Amino acid sequence: MSIKGKAYVMGAFEHPTREAPDKSTPQLHAECARGALADAGLSKDDIDGYFCAGDAPGFGALSMADYMGLRKLRHVDSTETGGSSYILHVGHAAEAIAAGKCSVALITLAGRPRTEKGGGGPRGGGFASAPEAGFELPYGGTTHNQYAMCATRHCHEFGTTSEQLAWIKVAASHHAQWNPHAFLKEVVTVEEVVNSPMIATPLHRLDCCVVTDGGGALIVTSPDVAKRLNRPRVKVIGAGEAPKGTYGGKVDLTFSGAAWSGPKAFAEAGVTPSDIKYASIYDSFTITVLMQLEDLGFCAKGEGGKFVADGNLISGVGKLPFNTDGGGLCNNHPTNRGGITKVIEAVRQLRGEAHPKVQVKNCDLAIAHGTGGSLGTRHGSATLIMERE
């Protein structure tokens, strides 16, 4: 069974806050849900499917559904693949809708890492019982240095340079200047990126995403519900997912799970990378974008550095406009998880509701792709292809 054409993204909402000391995390989830419902033109009791991931406090979907008063649920899914979860959830929602298990699915993400000072430090806590814990936690692995090891290897194998990586941040900053909610609105140069303080070689501070509070929500519906709503219809036409790990010591840092999730999504959608008008590409770090673009087939493996250079990702300038909201690198990376904002900006583009300065002309086909967890150890890749109807 294919999900092609079986579901539509009809509601999308990104919380405007970037620092929320005055709100609880559950409250942010509820505010996002309310925003997405209003965007779709639906009400709470229309929701019969609920999707959330590891950021949902307490007993996950059970606590949050009870808190929000979701009384009509007949389908819940709390699949946790880190920041890519919410992209994957759209695919899962489409599957559930296609199987008749629900017709209006709500997906929420929210959290407060900026207020709570939790910006990608050493992993502990819940990871202490993981099978790999004894063999990894003593080494001070963080999000930064694990992704950085991928960059070190990529530079070694393919000659990728810090200046090429910097172009990804430069492109994001060109877009962020038009987003009034963006955490960082200033346009930066390649020189500014490579001269910013070194965090974990070869990644500088400006190669890293922002740490922000906030969240987002999506409403995915059946075709019948979508046709009743007074909003542009964004059709889900392809989805792919794949976990990747360290495989018993056969570690290969040169590619991401996008190499597996991407082809599945493109095959289901019946399109190719060259057909894509707009790309939301997970940007926890510049290297994340570069590797995913290669793995998704936008350029050959090893050619990512050349592909992203010279403004090729800037809307109106280059061949592949990406992350026109400013992405995680400049706009928002709510609760250290950027998946939902990737779908939200793709929906804006497909509806023609992106900022006029970054809106892609005739944007009828978009991709949203995410990597959750750690690119340097184990991560979940999720690819979603959507079409304007």
Q: C-alpha distances in angstroms, 75 versus 109, 144, 166, 334, 349?
A: 18, 36, 43, 25, 29
Phi, psi values for residue 306, rounded to 5°: -65, -35
Q: 1 or 139, CB closer to other proteins?
A: 139
Per CB under 8 A, does 139 bind other proteins?
yes
Binding of residue 199 to other proteins (CB under 8 A) = yes
C-beta of 69 vs 131, nearer to other proteins: 131
Minimum Å gap between C-beta 2 and other proteins is 31
Q: Report the residue from 45, 132, 186, 191 that binds other proteins according to the rule CB under 8 A.
A: 132
Residue 118 binding other proteins, by CB under 8 A: no
Q: Are strands 278-281 and 234-244 parallel, antiparallel or unpaired?
A: unpaired
The smaller minimum CB distance to other proteins, of residues 30 and 150, is found at 150
Q: How far apart are CA 205 and CA 93, in angstroms?
A: 36
Among residues 66 and 132, whose Cβ is nearest to other proteins? 132
- In one-letter notation, the amino acid at residue 27 is Q
Shortest distance, position 148 Cβ to other proteins, whole Å? 4
Residue 192 C-beta: closest distance to other proteins, Å: 18
CB of 248 to other proteins, least distance (A): 4
Q: What is the 3-state secondary structure (H, E, C) of 259-292?
A: HHHHHHHHHHHCCCHHHCCEEEECCCEHHHHHHH
3-state secondary structure of 7: strand
Separation between Cα atoms, residue 206 and residue 204, nearest integer Å: 5
Q: What residues contact 188, with CB distance under 8 A and at least 6 apart?
A: 169, 170, 173, 206
The residue within the footprint of other proteins, chosen from 42, 253, 290, 291 (CB under 8 A), is 253
Residue from 69, 125, 126, 131 touching other proteins (CB under 8 A): that is 131
Q: Which of 280, 335, 377, 381 binds other proteins (CB under 8 A)?
A: 377
The SS3 assignment for 313 reads coil
Asked, as a colleague might, if the bond just before 131 is cis with ω within 30 of 0, I would say: no
Q: Which is nearer to other proteins, 21 or 121 (CB)?
A: 121
- CA torsion sign for 53, 55, 60, 61 is negative
Segment interacting with other proteins, rule: CB under 8 A, options 110-118, 191-199, 311-319, 358-366:
191-199
Residue 334's nearest CA partner among 13, 2, 10, 17 is 17
Q: Which is nearer to other proteins, 199 or 347 (CB)?
A: 199
Per-residue contact string for residues 143-172; x = within reach of other proteins by CB under 8 A:
-xxx-xxxxxx--x----------------
Q: Which two structure tokens, joined as six digits, stand for 42?
A: 């639906």
Number of residues that bind other proteins (CB under 8 A): 41
User: Which CB atom, from 74 or from 205, has the smaller least distance to other proteins?
Assistant: 205
| Candidate list 134, 224, 356, 361; residue touching other proteins; CB under 8 A | 134
- Site residues for other proteins, window 309-348 (CB under 8 A)? none
CA 303 – CA 161 distance, rounded (Å)? 11
> Which residues make up the interface to other proteins (CB under 8 A)?
122, 124, 128-129, 131-142, 144-146, 148-153, 156, 197-203, 246-251, 253, 377
